[in-house]
Amino acid sequence: MQQTNVAAYYGRRAAQDLGLIITEGTSVNREAARNDPKVPVFHGEEALAGWKKTVEAAHAHGCPIWPQLWHVGALPNPTISWRPSSPFESPSGAYKPSRSNGKAMSESDVRDCIEAFAKAARDAMNIGFDGVEIHGAHGYLIDQFFWDGSNHRDDHYGGENIAQRSRFAAEVIAAIRRATSADFPICIRLSQWKQQDFAAKLAPTPEAMEAWLRPLVDAGADVLHCSQRRFWEAEFEGSDLNFAAWARKLTGKPVITVGSVGLSGEFIAAFRGEASQPASLDTLMERFERGDFDLVAVGRALITDPAWASKVKAGQWESLTAFDPASLASLY
């Protein structure tokens, strides 16, 4: 982790009217938690000292900040040959049907992994972070437990229905609550889709969605970050409510919506090297004003332009810039 550059990167955005920063994914203390050596870690004195500087940079501008705690599970990075020192680990040794990678986690592995998340959250609280987000979306470890395409376990952490397959995530949340404090915010990022299968649907009905989300809320999740590729898309037939709106309706918890906010192209296009142009926020604001969601997450637009939020707040639409995929490789 380039401590000075990373702190400055987040500080630059904190100075521009953001209400909250959620960092990039940062791996918990498991040997196989990441699939790229450039992914920052959230353990060890040196890394935590760097993250503390990042907290201070955000707080200098009055902006709260949460780390996004992450474990990739069995999902490989096809663009590089690097592999972790231990085998990739996941519920059943696979990241999609008929695609194995690494090993199935033993019950001891599962317990140790839960503790790794809890330890990371405790460290986050101790160095001044204002809350934590758990990455439970997009086909990574926690999502691999949710999905029947990658979770074929016959123990406590598997099962035929989504409520049973939510136990690992619920135990991670409960362990974080025990390791922190009653008023320390815990957010979990969720998605129906995953990199392995854009059409995947963990919850095909509102009833199934409630069965998925209720164990997470009961375990102590305060906020649900509901990821879609396009935030305006309806989650179920017969209603125009998106994922976040349904999560709010079913649980009563605060929710974050996300998915191509302020840009013309969905974010997977960025990894194909495609640019996106600024887009209207009218639909977003209409949904916000009717109470569909509480917070809005912005990714690529802020990566390209640190002042995006300030420009939007001031109505400076003409000064918004297109998303350039090259910005993913810089720390400006």
- Domains in the chain with CATH codes: 3-329 (3.20.20.70)
- Calculate mean pLDDT across residues 144-155: 98
In the predicted structure, residue 256 carries a pLDDT above the cut 60: yes
Q: Which residues contact 42 (CB under 8 A, 6 or more apart)?
A: 26, 27, 28, 29, 48, 51, 67, 69, 120, 123, 124
% of the chain with per-residue pLDDT over 90? 89
Mean pLDDT, the chain, whole residue set:
95
pLDDT tier at 110 (50, 70, 90 boundaries)? very high
Least reliable range by pLDDT among 1-5, 45-49, 164-168: 1-5
% the chain with pLDDT above 70: 96
Catalytic positions are 140
- Lowest-pLDDT choice from 52-66, 214-228, 312-326: 312-326
Contact 96, 149 (CB under 8 A): yes
106: DSSP letter: P
Residue 134 pLDDT exceeds 70 = yes
CB atoms within 10 A of CB 159: 16
Average pLDDT, integer, range 251-256:
99
What is the distance between the alpha carbons of residues 179 and 114, in angstroms, rounded to a whole number?
A: 11
pLDDT at 275: 66
Least confident range from 91-105, 121-135, 225-239, 275-289: namely 275-289
* Bridge partner residues of 276 (DSSP): 323
Alpha-carbon span 6 to 325, nearest angstrom = 19
Tokens for 237, please give them. 């037939």
Report d(CA 182, CA 49) in Å as an integer. Answer: 25
Confidence band for 273, pLDDT divided at 50, 70 and 90: low
pLDDT value at residue 266: 58
Note the pTM of the prediction, 2 decimals: 0.95
Only one residue has tokens 């209603």, namely: 239
Residue 136 is predicted with a pLDDT of: 99
Give the tens place of pLDDT for each residue, 185-236: 999 999 999 999 999 999 999 999 999 999 999 999 999 999 999 999 999 9
Which has more pLDDT, 142 or 330? Answer: 142
Tokens of 86: 């231990």
Q: Is the per-residue pLDDT at 268 higher than 80?
A: no
Tell me, what's the pLDDT at 331? Answer: 85
- Which stretches within the chain are classed as H helix? 3-14, 45-59, 107-126, 141-146, 162-165, 167-179, 206-219, 243-251, 282-289, 300-304, 308-313
Could you tell me how far CA 144 lies from the centroid of its own chain? Answer: 14
Q: Kindly report the length of the chain.
A: 332
Contacts of 8 (CB under 8 A, 6+ apart): 57, 331
CA atoms of 203 and 287, how far apart (whole Å) = 22
Q: What is the pLDDT of residue 276?
A: 78
pLDDT at 332: 85
pLDDT for 253 beyond 90: yes
pLDDT (average), residues 41-70? 98
Confidence at residue 212, expressed as pLDDT on a 0 to 100 scale:
99
Asked if pLDDT for residue 304 goes beyond 70, the answer is: yes
Task: Give every CB contact of residue 302 below 8 A, 6+ residues apart in sequence.
Answer: 13, 18, 308, 309
Report the C-alpha gap between 321 and 327 in whole angstroms. Answer: 12
**For range 140-156, the mean pLDDT:** 98
Q: Residue 325: pLDDT above 90?
A: no
Query: Which tens digit of pLDDT belongs to each residue from 156-177?
Result: 999 999 999 999 999 999 999 9
What pLDDT does 270 receive? 46
Question: Using 50, 70 and 90 to split pLDDT, how confident is the model at 271?
Answer: very low
Specify the 3-state DSSP secondary structure of 115: helix
Cα–Cα distance, 205 to 178 (Å, whole number): 32
Pairing of the two strands 21-27 and 94-96: unpaired
| HSE-CB for 156 with a 13 A CA cutoff | 11
Q: Say whether pLDDT at 323 is over 90.
A: no
> How much is the pLDDT for 186?
99
What is residue 274's predicted lDDT score, i.e. its pLDDT? Answer: 64
**Integer Cα distance of 3 and 9 in angstroms:** 10
